[in-house]
């Protein structure tokens, strides 16, 4: 083929491409920006103290809106039919619990379209936690090879659960000597976490395996296991429900028979959420929680999630840690009304009082 013919063919191909590809692209009509029908007048997320009434508003920016509704999470707050202009309303946060909530403005248009504008609201506690200290009263020997994840008394007997793959177990412990009189280990694929004892059953959760093992309290034999979703950190109970932490600010109440979620609370003080909630203990109607990596225990209202007190455990750490790791392990003995603390791989377990 001659050079002239090749050039001619290329020119024809170029014209075809221009005709059927480039020109239609250039002539394609522009897509107009979506019209925003309504929006909140506040742009930032909000932090509001529990019990307050907050004035809020939204603007109607287009015609043809049949209705606008404001929701807090899934709860309908109010409906406005054929809304126009700027609309004001009051949000009473006392009807909602502490924690992060989504406030949504949902507008329905005549053309069948639905538009949503949403913001985040954090409801903070209206109480400042009381400052307290953990005072060491007595020291006991603790097995320093125990990576403590759970600690609880039942009928005057101390039970302890430990973590790490290949080292996770449950043991009965003699308080005076620290000797483990009976124990049972988990398969090496499981990383054990907190325990609690209810109706002569020991409940032991796992960190990331999403499995709860249930044991006979007397024999330490596994009766069954139950699956759940998410991480497991700490456990306690109020005599009715299993109470569980997952390393966030959320505490979950579960049915002891099915392990299904009954309710949740979010733990907040007057500043914001208290995250990394770890080992738990239920003492006289209150939840006490270790905070992972801090020498602090907080006292929590189980109904509201409010932090009632913050307990400095610095002296406990000095007295008991040795070469061990973080503070973790709270046990209350109803028989003598005494409280005990320890930590991961600590050489001592301490009897304490909170003042």
On whether the CB atoms of residues 55 and 36 are closer than 8 A, the answer is no
pLDDT at 230: 96
Domain at 38-124, CATH class: mainly beta
Q: Are strands 130-141 and 307-312 parallel, antiparallel or unpaired?
A: parallel
Q: Which residue has the tokens 């020997």?
A: 141
CATH 3.30.70.2610 fits 130-354, yes or no: no
Q: Cβ–Cβ contacts within 10 Å for residue 335, how many?
A: 10
Domain boundaries, the chain: 38-124, 130-354
Sign, CA dihedral 299-300-302-306, equals positive
Helix, coil or strand: residue 11: helix
pLDDT at 64: 87
Burial letters 36-72, b for 16+ CB under 10 A, else e: ebbbbeeeeebebebeeeeebebbbeeeebeebbbbb
Distance CA 150, CA 206 (A): 11
Token pair recorded at residue 176? 């005076």
Per-residue DSSP letter, 271:
S
On whether the CB atoms of residues 344 and 160 are closer than 8 A, the answer is no
Distance CA 38, CA 60 (A): 5
pLDDT at 23: 46
pLDDT at 327: 96
Contacts of 231 (CB under 8 A, 6+ apart): 207, 208, 246, 247
Distance CA 99, CA 274 (A): 10
Q: Mind listing the pLDDT tens digit for each residue in 336-346? A: 999 999 999 99
Q: Cβ–Cβ contacts within 10 Å for residue 221, how many?
A: 9
Residues of the chain with pLDDT under 70: 1-34
What is the chain's percent helix, strand, coil content, to nearest 5? Answer: 10, 50, 40
On whether the CB atoms of residues 236 and 283 are closer than 8 A, the answer is no
pLDDT at 20: 53
Distance CA 196, CA 160 (A): 10
Q: Mind listing the pLDDT tens digit for each residue in 111-137? A: 889 999 999 999 999 999 999 999 999
């Amino acid at each position: 083929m001659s050079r002239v013919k090749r050039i001619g063919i290329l020119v024809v191909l170029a014209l075809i491409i221009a005709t059927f590809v480039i020109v239609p692209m250039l002539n394609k009509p522009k897509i107009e920006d979506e019209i925003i029908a309504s929006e909140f007048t506040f742009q930032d997320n909000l932090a509001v103290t529990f019990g307050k009434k907050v004035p809020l508003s939204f603007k109607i920016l287009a015609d043809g809106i049949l209705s606008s509704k404001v929701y807090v999470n899934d709860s309908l707050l109010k409906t406005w039919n054929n809304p126009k202009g700027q609309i004001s309303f009051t949000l009473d946060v006392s009807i909602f619990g502490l924690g992060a909530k989504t406030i949504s403005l949902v507008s329905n248009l005549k053309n069948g379209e639905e538009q949503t504008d949403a913001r985040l609201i954090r409801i903070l506690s209206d109480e400042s936690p009381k400052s307290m200290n953990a005072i060491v009263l007595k020291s006991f020997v603790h097995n320093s090879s125990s990576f403590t994840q759970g600690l609880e008394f039942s009928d005057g007997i101390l039970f302890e659960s430990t973590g790490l793959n290949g080292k996770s177990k449950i043991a009965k412990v003699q308080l005076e000597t620290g000797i483990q009189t009976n124990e049972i280990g988990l398969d090496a694929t499981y990383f054990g976490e907190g325990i609690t004892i209810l109706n002569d059953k020991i409940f032991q959760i796992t960190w990331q395996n999403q499995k709860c093992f249930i044991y006979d309290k007397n024999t330490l034999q596994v009766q069954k296991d139950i699956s759940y979703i998410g991480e497991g950190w700490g456990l306690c109970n109020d005599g009715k429900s299993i109470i569980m932490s997952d390393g966030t600010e959320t505490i979950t109440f579960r049915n002891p028979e099915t392990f299904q979620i009954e309710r949740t609370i979010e733990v907040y003080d007057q500043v914001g959420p208290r995250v990394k909630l770890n080992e738990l203990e239920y003492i006289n109607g209150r939840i006490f929680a270790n905070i992972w990596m801090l020498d602090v225990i907080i006292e929590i209202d189980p109904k509201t999630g409010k932090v009632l007190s913050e307990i400095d455990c610095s002296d406990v750490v000095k007295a008991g840690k040795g070469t061990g790791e973080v503070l973790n392990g709270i046990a209350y003995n109803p028989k003598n009304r005494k409280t005990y603390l320890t930590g991961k791989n600590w050489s001592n377990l301490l009897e304490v009082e909170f003042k």
